[in-house]
Structures are given as structure tokens and as C-alpha cells.
Amino acid sequence: MAEPVLSPQEEGKRAAGEAAAALVEDGMRLGLGTGSTVRWVLEALGRRIRDEGLRITGIPTSEQTAARARELGIPLTDFAATEALDLCIDGADEVERGTLRLIKGLGGALLREKIVAEAAGRFVAVVDASKIVEMLGVKAPLPVEVTEFGWESTARRLAALGGSPVLRRRDGAVLRTDGGNLILDCAGFAPIRDPLGLQRELKTIAGVVETGLFLAGAEQAIVGGADGGVEVL
Ligand code: 5RP
């Protein structure tokens, strides 16, 4: 059967995902990110396991990734059995060109993604070219994961800071994360000139579980182009 024709953006995601999967070495313990770009990483890892006998284990950052990894025969583990990870590969909603700091969480997995990223010796972001920005916050709203209890009060506090929070819904229903929390998308903080200061301020609010600011940044960002080529930042 002929391969389906990919949109230019999807072609970039594919190129980035496959280039990142090629970095994986035998025996590695991986953090497996979430999203449509990571899907290409998982496909490529599944192929390498099947064709080359690549031996890896992965900790998934979402139930969605766990389900796909199982379908593809990628062995999964957890933090009870695994202390540290060699490499985390994950997508991003924005990558700041000069610093490789990220905004993540439009896929709703930001809390698990941050826990997994922190446990990894290396973090590689996989993105198509549309995700590269000069300053964080210009394209994507900042997702803030909050407890369900008191979310309205938490939203008021975020509004008072200028965040313009909007409760995330999917298919008309309020979206719940894998951890059972809610997400407030805050477009109002843009452009984020002082991400460290904003992160500190947001984390002082009791109902805030985590934010989509990944300020440790990526060690590398693999940026896929519409022509199927990649650029490594
Ligand atoms: C999920 C994420 C995703 O990695 C991010 O939203 C990018 O997704 P995609 O590759 O589908 O554009 O942070 O919480």
C-alpha cells in the first residue's frame, strides 16, 4: 500500500521524531514524551526493537503514550523499578531559540512530563519548525495544571497576575489530566520576559500543581522541516 502523503507540518514532526529515535542506544532507559511528534519517535523505536533487536525500557509520560508503546512492543517500566533515565525525548509547544527553554502541556501531560524530564540525564525536544520562538509565550498559552478543589479561586489568583486563565475543555467536556487535575490555559502572560520569576510566582499559589514552563531547557532541540530535513539546535 502506498504511504499516505503527509502535510508539511507532519513531515517535520516525522523527520524530528525519527532523528531523535536514531539517538537511542542499546540498553537505554528512556523517558517517553507525549504528543503527535512523539508518536513518530515511538513508531521508529518499535521498528528498531523489531528489526535490530534494540533493548530499551521506557517510562511513559501519559496513558496515551503508554498505550501506544505497548501496541508497538516497547517495554515499559516505572520509578519503583528505575531510579534514573538516560534520555528523555519529548515534544514541545514552544522552544525559545536562544535558550532552548520550553513551554509544554498543550497535550495535557505536563506534570508527568516534568517529573520524567527531571529524572533524565539528557532531554531532547522534538518539534517541527513552527514551534521555534524568539520569546516564550508568543504562540502558545501557558498551561497551568491546578487541583480541582478550589480551581475557581486559583483561576482568580491567576487572573489577578494577568494570566487570563481559560479552563481547558475537550469535546465540550472539562479536560481532566492523567493525575485527575484541571488545566487553566493562560494566554495573558505573553510575552514571558521573566519566565523564572513567573514560575516562582505561580508556584506560590496553593492550587497550582505545575506549570508548562520547562526552564531547565532541552540539551538539544531537533527541528524537523517540511522537506524532511532536520536542524539541531
Ligand atoms: C503534551 C506536550 C506535547 O509534547 C506538546 O503539546 C507537543 O505536542 P505535539 O507534538 O502534538 O505538537 O507537552 O503535554
User: In this predicted structure, what is the pLDDT of residue 1?
Assistant: 62
Mean pLDDT of 198-207: 98
**For position 193, what pLDDT does the model report?**
94
Q: Report whether 36 contacts 68 (CB < 8 A).
A: no
Question: Of ligand 1's atoms, which has the minimum distance to the CA of residue 108?
Answer: 14
Give the number of the atom of ligand 1 that is nearest the alpha carbon of residue 212: 13
pTM given for the model: 0.95
Helix ranges (DSSP H) in 22-145: 36-52, 63-72, 110-118
pLDDT average, residue stretch 111-123: 97
Look up residue 68 and give its three cell numbers.
Answer: 501506544
* pLDDT-derived band at 3, boundaries 50, 70, 90: confident
Q: What is the pLDDT of residue 140?
A: 84
Centroid of ligand 1 to alpha carbon of 127 (angstroms): 9
What local confidence, expressed as pLDDT, does residue 67 receive? 98
Share of residues in the chain with pLDDT > 70 (%): 100
The pLDDT tens digits of the residues spanning 135-192 come to 999 998 999 999 999 999 999 999 999 999 999 999 999 999 999 999 999 999 999 9
- Residue from 187, 28, 40 nearest 127 by CA: 40
Contact yes or no for 118/112 (Cβ under 8 A):
no
In degrees rounded to 5, what are phi and psi of residue 96?
A: -80, 120
All 3 cell numbers of residue 105? 502541556
Residues 66, 68, 70, 72: is their CA dihedral positive or negative?
negative
36 lines ligand 1 (CB under 6 A): yes
Our answer to whether residue 113 is catalytic in this structure is yes
Q: Which three cell numbers stand for residue 185?
A: 490555559
- Nearest C-alpha neighbor of 189 from the set 168, 214, 164: 164
Q: Distance between CA 117 and CA 94 in Å, rounded?
A: 16
- As a whole number, mean pLDDT of residues 28-50 equals 98
Strand, coil or helix: 124: strand
Q: Which of 11, 113, 145, 210 is catalytic?
A: 113
What number is the average pLDDT over the span 69-97? 97
* Minimal-distance CA residue to ligand 1 atom 5: 92
Helix (H) or strand (E) run with residue 202 in it: helix 195-203
8 A C-beta contact, residue 94 and residue 138: yes
Please give the sequence-ordered ranges of beta strands (E in DSSP) within the chain, or none if there are none: 29-32, 57-60, 87-90, 94-96, 102-103, 123-128, 132-133, 142-146, 165-167, 169-170, 173-174, 182-186, 208-211, 213-214, 220-224, 230-232
ipTM over 0.90: yes
pLDDT band at 227 (very low <50, low <70, confident <90, very high): very high
Q: Is the pLDDT of residue 198 over 90?
A: yes
pLDDT at 121: 87
Rounded mean pLDDT of the chain? 97
**Are the C-beta atoms of 221 and 232 separated by less than 8 Å?**
yes
Average pLDDT over residues 64-73: 98
